[in-house]
Amino acid sequence: MNVLIFNGATDTRPEATSNRLAAYMSTALNEQGFSPEIFSLAEKQIPFFSMSEAAKKPEAVTAMCNAFCKADLQIWMTPLYHGSMTGAMKNCLDWLELTSKHQRPYLTGKVVALLSWADGTQAMQGINAMDAVAKALRAWVLPYSLPILKDNLYDPQTSGFTAFYKNKLDMMVSLLCAAKSHVTAGITTA
């Protein structure tokens, strides 16, 4: 089963929190027998959404829509930017309008897990923003989200993730893998 890790950050540094989280989730999913694909927004050339551009179907957008449509399980992740997901992430999700005429439009029946991080304690606002968009796109949101307080994410001794957050990330992967049986049974496509 295809799993998409949607990295909505615009930071390309390998040591950036977004890239480290995406790599951790990818490794954890590999260990569960999945072959995840990381869609890193910072590396894509997704133009600003407009209906006139939609008629042209830019190549990068078509590839993005295909990646989202083929993945039944998804993890969306974003840093908190001024109380929401990154603007680039929202723009990217707006392009899924191109799938509105598909037999299964938008993200119908897909299971989406959500995680966000912030320097303060407001990361839940990023999750709420993604939750609203995922539901508008007809996805099923995993009933376990992960708001991360970035100051507590890293172990000061090792610079790796703390055991506290590793447990939470592993729980998300475990629950997402369990959702696989619901997807394959057709429960989420009803």
Kindly report the average pLDDT of the chain as a whole number: 93
- CATH node for 2-185: 3.40.50.360
Mean pLDDT across 100-111: 94
Mean pLDDT (whole number) for 78-99: 96
pLDDT digits (tens, 9 = 90+) for 9-31: 999 999 999 999 999 999 999 99
Residues in Cβ contact with 96 at an 8 Å cutoff, skipping those fewer than 6 apart: 65, 68, 106, 107, 137
Residue range 165-174: mean pLDDT, rounded: 98
* Residue 149 backbone phi and psi in degrees, to 5: -85, 105
Higher pLDDT residue, 91 or 185? 91
DSSP 159: S
Average pLDDT over residues 92-108: 95
pLDDT of the residue at 53: 82
- Per-residue pLDDT of 121-167, as tens digits, reads 999 999 999 999 999 999 999 999 999 999 999 999 999 999 999 99
Which residue is listed with tokens 């999945």?
A: 34
The candidate with the shortest Cα–Cα distance to 126, out of 91, 90, 83, is: 83
On whether the CB atoms of residues 113 and 74 are closer than 8 A, the answer is yes
pLDDT value, residue 187: 53
pLDDT at 182: 67
Task: Say what the pLDDT of residue 41 is.
Answer: 93
pLDDT of 52 reads 85
What are the pLDDT digits (tens) for 22-72? 999 999 999 999 999 999 999 998 999 998 887 888 999 999 999 999 999
**pLDDT exceeds 60 at position 169:** yes
> pLDDT value at position 57?
87
Residue 190: what pLDDT? 47
Listed by start position, the domains of the chain span: 2-185
